[in-house]
Amino acid sequence: MTRTRVASLLAVVLLAACSDAPAPSGAAPMTFTNPVHDKNFPDPGVLHEDGTWFAYGTNDAGRNVPLLTSTDLVHWTEQGDVLPEVGAWATAGNTWAPEVIRTAAGKYVLYYTARWNQADRQCIGAAVADDPRGPFTDRSPRPLICQDDEGGSIDASPFRDDDGRLYLYWKNDGNHIGAPAHLYAQRLGPDGLSLTGERVRLLTNDKPWQGAVIEAPEMLRHDGRLYLFYSGGAFDSDGYAVGYATCDGPMGPCHDAPENPILRSSAAAAGPGHCYPVTLADGSTWLLYHAWPPDGIGSAAPGRQMWLDRVDWVRGRPVVHGPTAGPQPMP
C-alpha cells in the first residue's frame, strides 16, 4: 500500500472518530441581548406560521401596521406595512395594537384599533388577507366594536382555545373619558369577523398599581389552565407594568393574582408592557413586550423597543425573568 493511501485511510478514521465525539463540555450556549428590536415598535402582536414569527406593531413612520418577521424570536427583519389603508370608517394615523389570527378557512384576520370618523373615539376594526404578510383589507363600513358610551374600544386580542372555538378580548377606553377601564371577552364566529353571545367583563382597574388604566389583554392556556396577561398604568411612565389573572374559562370569571405586577421597570428598561406570551415547541414560555429606555420615556427615538424574556412556571404561577439586559440563552 502506498504512503499516500495509508495517509488517506488514517484521515477517514480520524474524521469518523471526531464526528462521534461529544461537544466540549465548556462550550458556551448561543445567547442574545435585549432589546431584540432596537427601533420603535410598540404593542407587538405575534403570529407563528410555518416556522416564521410575524410581529405586528402600532403605527410608526407613516405605516399603519408595520410588520417584523423572525425565525428565532431574536433576529427581526422589517417588512413594511401590512395595512396600506384603514377601513372606510376610520381615520389613519392612530392605528394601534394589531393582532392576527388564522381562521379554519385559511384566511388571516387582523384586528386593529383606529379612530372612528363619527366620534372622538378609538374603536376596533377587522381586516382580512390571504397571507400573514398582507395586504389586509377592511371592507366593513363600521368598526367591529365601539363602546361609544364607555370611551371607545381598543387592544383587541383573538384567542383560539383547545376545542377550536375563537374568542376576542379587548379593553374599553374608559380613561379617555375619566371612566373605569374594563377588560372584556366575547365569542367570535368561525370567520373571525362576527361576535356571538353575550359580552362579559373580566377585570376592572381597581388596584393601586393599575392607576386609571388596565389594557392589552392576552389569554394563554398553560398546563390546562387559563391565564389572562394584561398591562396597567400609564403607558408613557415608569409605572406601566404587566400583571395576570387566572380564569375559570375563556369567558371567566377571572381572578387577579395577588403578586401583581410580575414585570415592572428596572434600571435597564422603563414601563415594560403590552406583552405577548408565546409557547415554543419544547413547551417553554417567552414574553415579547415593549419598553422605553430608562432615560427616554416618551421620546420619539428610539421610542418603545421590543424585548424578549423567559417565563418560568412556579407552582402554577408565571415568573418573568426580566427586564433582562445581560446576555441570556437563545429560546
What does the pLDDT average to over 13-25? Answer: 39
DSSP designation for 37: B
Each residue of 228-267: pLDDT tens digit? 999 999 999 999 999 999 999 999 999 999 999 999 999 9
Query: Side-chain half-sphere of 65: how many Cα atoms within 13 Å?
Result: 32
Angle (CA) 44-180-296 rounded to 5° is 40
279 has which bridge partners? Answer: 285
Q: Note the pLDDT of residue 6.
A: 35
Residue 330 in grid coordinates: 437563545
Q: Do the Cβ atoms of 31 and 327 come closer than 8 Å?
A: yes
Residue 300: pLDDT band with limits 50, 70, 90? confident
Distances (CA, A) of 224 to 109, 193, 198, 230: 26, 27, 24, 19
Tell which residue, 31, 83, 106, 102, has the closest CA to residue 331: 31
Name all domains of the chain by residue range, CATH numbers in brackets.
29-329 (2.115.10.20)
Residue 29: pLDDT band with limits 50, 70, 90? confident
Question: Where do we find the cell 480520524?
Answer: 14
Tell which residue, 84, 85, 79, has the closest CA to residue 54: 79
d(CA 78, CA 295) in angstroms, rounded, equals: 25
Residue 94 in grid coordinates: 392612530
Using CA atoms of 189, 190, 193, 195 in order, give the dihedral in degrees to the nearest 10: 10
Q: Note the pLDDT of residue 48.
A: 98
For the chain, give the percent of residues with pLDDT over 90. 89
Reduce the DSSP state of residue 274 to 3 states and report it: strand
Which pairs count as long-range contacts for 52-58, CB under 8 Å and 24+ apart, including other chains? Answer: 52/132, 53/278, 54/100, 54/132, 54/133, 55/288, 55/306, 56/82, 56/98, 56/99, 56/100, 56/110, 57/98, 57/306, 58/95, 58/96, 58/97, 58/98
Residue 7: pLDDT band with limits 50, 70, 90? very low
What does the pLDDT average to over 9-17? Answer: 36
What does the pLDDT average to over 39-68? Answer: 97
Residues near 19 by Cβ (< 8 Å), separated by ≥ 6?
Answer: none
Tell which residue, 125, 163, 162, 121, has the closest CA to residue 143: 125
Q: Do the Cβ atoms of 101 and 89 come closer than 8 Å?
A: no
Q: Note the pLDDT of residue 259.
A: 98
Q: Do the Cβ atoms of 112 and 68 come closer than 8 Å?
A: no
Q: Note the pLDDT of residue 15.
A: 35
Query: Side-chain half-sphere of 258: how many Cα atoms within 13 Å?
Result: 0
Each residue of 188-218: pLDDT tens digit? 999 999 999 999 999 999 999 999 999 999 9
Query: Side-chain half-sphere of 97: how many Cα atoms within 13 Å?
Result: 28
- Residue 120 neighbours by CB distance under 10 Å: 11
* Dihedral pair phi/psi, residue 233, rounded to 5°: 95, 175
Q: Do the Cβ atoms of 114 and 87 come closer than 8 Å?
A: yes
